[in-house]
Amino acid sequence: MARRNADAGTPALRLLTERGVAHTPRPYDHAAHDGFGEEAVRALRAAGLDVDAQRVFKTLLADVDGRLVCAVVPVAGMLDLKALAAAAGGKRAAMADPARAQRSSGYVVGGISPLAQRTPLPTFVDASAHRFETVLVSAGRRGLQVELAPADLVEVTGARSAALSR
């Protein structure tokens, strides 16, 4: 994988570059108004990248007992809110209000990256990520993913791995 210049455009890509983390930006044509993860998989495949929907991860912000947390799960799966609550040491989890998620992360819905969020949140990466040499996550804007090693994603975000998807 290539490392890109610090002027790569998003806080997520700049963070990876500053930390010396090997990564590859994966831009694609964005047109969807929802289903952003599925759109990314389709568009990346159309662009000639052989990606499995289990290897492309979506970033979801959730409210666990009144505090925001970040969950990173495969596009092909669904976030198990009970599992997230347990991983976060809480009792109840619900999806965060989109406006609150945008304010906290500094990114727009459909482009929320787990990397370089405005307000750092406790982050949980689905354990399935470790089955792959690399995974793709949002690079901080719609139409841009970043490919990196799951161990680097966990390290840079300070995440914990847990079984979060169903």
- pLDDT 10s per residue in the chain (166 long)? 444 433 358 999 999 999 999 999 998 877 766 677 788 888 888 888 889 889 999 999 999 999 999 999 999 999 999 999 999 999 999 999 999 999 999 999 989 999 999 999 999 999 999 999 999 999 999 889 999 999 999 999 999 999 999 8
Q: Between β-strands 144-148 and 24-27, what pairing exists: parallel, antiparallel or unpaired?
A: antiparallel
- Superfamily assignment of 26-162 in CATH? YbaK/aminoacyl-tRNA synthetase-associated domain (3.90.960.10)
Domain locations in the chain?
26-162
Average pLDDT, the chain: 91
CA angle 73, 74, 76 (to 5 degrees): 135
> Residue 116: left if φ>0, alpha if ψ -120 to 50, beta else—which one?
left
pLDDT on residue 1: 47
